[in-house]
Amino acid sequence: MGIGLIIIGDEILSGKRQDKHLPQVIATLHERGLQLDWAEYVGDDRDRITAVLKRSFASSDIVFSTGGIGATPDDHTRQCAATALNLPLQLHPEAKLLIQQRILDMAAEAGKTTDLNSEDNRQRLKMGEFPLGAELIPNPYNKIPGFAISSHYFVPGFPVMAWPMIAWVLDTHYAHLFHQQQRAEKSVLVYEGIESVLTPLMEALEAEFPLIKVFSLPSVGSATQRRHIELGVKGEPAQIEAAFVKMCAGLDQLGSEYVPVSLPAAD
């Protein structure tokens, strides 16, 4: 089982808004000893959204989706989720009550009354139309819920709503997965390193230590830092220690110049 993130919205792809969800979701997962396995951006196009969701529904992954669950013509996520699952959309009775309560609250705050049966208020109820069998995700900001179905969790695009809703899903449904796998990471900066020269060492480390991954992050350098490669190992803490020692020994054999990077503790 992996964890995925789908970020939906033309405004992200056009640059009108900068995505803030990806780093926040990574941080939220990290706090709970989890990690993101994949992420995908998609614009407000029904065919593309449906294709992405069909693929992710076919997996066993836990998937969070942000954006597109409103009731305007450019919001397609609810409909696409239903199509991807071959299910009808249905007004969720609890969602209906929550939306209506929000309508009444907004009118009261403005010192006005409102007709719940007016055309615009009936339009707002579309925000509660979810694939048949969906469950609600509470929205602590304005009561308008998200929805959950088939290990997929659909929340608004607004960070102030989406982030606490994602945290609620994790804490409510997946606390048993928290901090199940310990992870550690150790790395060095190899100055003037060449990846092709380091590749055999990296391959040998992964072959010998199956519970770790080797990573290589090249940098062209800057005015204050020479050209270098951050070379490291991450994964199971016990194997990390042995793999790091062997990695440094291999760099010594190559005559590489390197310095250690600050070493984070195991999760």
Strand-strand pairing, 62-66 and 3-8: parallel
Question: Residue 143 region, left (φ>0) first, then alpha (ψ -120 to 50), else beta?
Answer: left
Instruction: Measure the CA dihedral 196/198/201/202, to 10°.
Output: -80
Report pLDDT for 184: 87
| Rounded CA separation 116/108 (Å) | 13
Q: What are phi and psi of 166, to 5 degrees?
A: -65, -45
pLDDT by residue, tens only, the chain of 267 residues: 899 999 999 999 999 999 999 999 999 999 999 999 999 999 999 999 999 999 999 999 999 999 999 999 999 999 999 999 999 999 999 999 999 999 999 999 999 999 999 999 999 999 999 999 999 999 999 999 999 999 999 999 999 999 999 999 999 999 999 988 778 899 999 999 999 999 999 999 999 999 999 999 999 988 888 999 999 999 989 899 999 999 999 999 999 999 999 754 444
Report pLDDT for 263: 57
Instruction: Measure the CA dihedral 76/77/78/80, to 10°.
Output: 80
Residue 139: half-sphere exposure toward Cβ, Cα within 13 Å: 28
Amino acid residing at 80: C
Structural domains in the chain, sorted by start = 3-177 (3.40.980.10), 184-260 (3.30.70.1130)
Name the E strands within 107-240: 129-131, 135-137, 146-149, 152-155, 184-191, 212-219, 228-235
Report pLDDT for 266: 44
Question: Residue 255 region, left (φ>0) first, then alpha (ψ -120 to 50), else beta?
Answer: left
C-alpha closest to that of 257 among 216, 233, 229, 232:
229
Amino acid residing at 127: M
Report pLDDT for 223: 87
Question: Per DSSP, what are the bridge partners of residue 216?
Answer: 231
